[in-house]
Amino acid sequence: MAVAPHTEPLKPLRPPRKRRVNESVRTWRWSDRIALVLCWATGIALCLIAGAIVLYMGVKGLQFLKLDMIFSRPQASADQQGSGGFLDPILGTVLLTLIGIVLATPVAVATAIWIVEYGRPSWLARGVESGIEIVAGTPDIVIAIFGLALFQQGLFSPLSFTAEGGAVFGRSFLTAGAMMSLIALPMVFGATREGLQAVPMHLREASYGLGKTKIATIRRVLLPAVKPNISTGAALGMGRIAGDTAIVVVLLGATLRIDPEGSIPGTNVLRGTGGTLTSYVYNNSPAGEGNAEQKAYAAAFVLLLIVIALNFAVDLIARRGAKTGLESTRLGA
């Protein structure tokens, strides 16, 4: 009598344990090993440098920062050491960043869409791309002096105010914001263009196959898919605007307090002059004439915090967008 081979009841199969195949580095050539060490070294060095910068600014900033500085307005005085805080520069930074990015994003996104999706005639498309690259490479001081000369023409007097001598002052939040949007434009444009080019053709073709027009495809399919890219570009742009000093000093008047101009609430601040944290830090550092290093450190610390918060917020948006957007990986997703 044949006996069936004794088999235990089959245990449920466990999924195979994922094991990382760690090939030993000992099998590598020397040049590869050196390259590995270098990669690790640069990665660690980057973290160390960033850590050192943040720590140093943090230590010095906390040493000099008092809470009432953030909420009190700057006082006029011989040097800034004893007096007042920097509430106005903080508000100025926020306002200028908002104006700049609000002006830049629609134009940049529209231009990127036109270049990637349409792009006819092609010489015009190449010209626009080169133009934006040229703007990306222009020093901010050149844009600032161009803006000052441009906005001092009589045509632009509603944007700032007209002095009793009859000449246009040319310096206000609106004029500075307009030039700031020019420097944020290449960032948003570049990021959007990369995102649009990474969208696979089959997504568009599926949409056309369903009968949608090109513009509807752009609105309903492509734009949501590149929203994380637009956010990344906007974050880079906002960072660039928040960190810019030259345009502020030349085009915003660098007054200590926000000086509104005119009597309509809202536009009066836009047409007025003011300062931002960057010009405040610059003026109080040894490079300026404010002679108050402690205030410069405190304001620089606050500026760093604002920039970190900005990045964090945009990172959140990008991550949320990546889940609903394309599968293609994003930095940090």
Distances (CA, A) of 165 to 33, 162, 172, 268, 274: 72, 8, 18, 21, 22
**Least gap, CB of 203 to other proteins (angstroms):** 16
- C-beta closer to other proteins: residue 98 or 315: 315
Which residues are 253's β-sheet partners? 274
Residue 150 in contact with other proteins, rule: CB under 8 A: yes
**Least gap, CB of 74 to other proteins (angstroms):** 10
Residue 294 in contact with other proteins, rule: CB under 8 A: no
Residue pair 183/241 in contact (Cβ under 8 Å)? The answer is yes
Residue pair 305/275 in contact (Cβ under 8 Å)? The answer is no
Residue 62 in contact with other proteins, rule: CB under 8 A: no
Residue 291 in contact with other proteins, rule: CB under 8 A: yes
d(CA 127, CA 149): 25
Among 87, 94, 128, 223, binds other proteins (CB under 8 A): 128
- C-beta closer to other proteins: residue 7 or 264: 264
User: Segment 80-119, which members bind other proteins (CB under 8 A)?
Assistant: 107, 110-111, 113-115, 118
Among 141, 223, 305, 317, binds other proteins (CB under 8 A): 141
Which ranges of 72-218 does DSSP label H, i.e. alpha helix? 87-113, 122-137, 140-151, 173-198, 201-209, 214-217
d(CA 74, CA 76): 7
- C-beta closer to other proteins: residue 9 or 87: 87
Tokens of 181: 């949007």
Residue pair 93/305 in contact (Cβ under 8 Å)? The answer is no
Task: Name the one range near other proteins by CB under 8 A: 3-11, 62-70, 84-92, 300-308.
Answer: 300-308
Residue 298 in contact with other proteins, rule: CB under 8 A: no
Residue 53 in contact with other proteins, rule: CB under 8 A: yes
Q: How big is the CA angle at 183 (ends 179 and 185), to the nearest 5 degrees?
A: 110
User: Segment 200-239, which members bind other proteins (CB under 8 A)?
Assistant: 213-216, 218, 235-236, 239
Among 15, 16, 154, 286, binds other proteins (CB under 8 A): 286
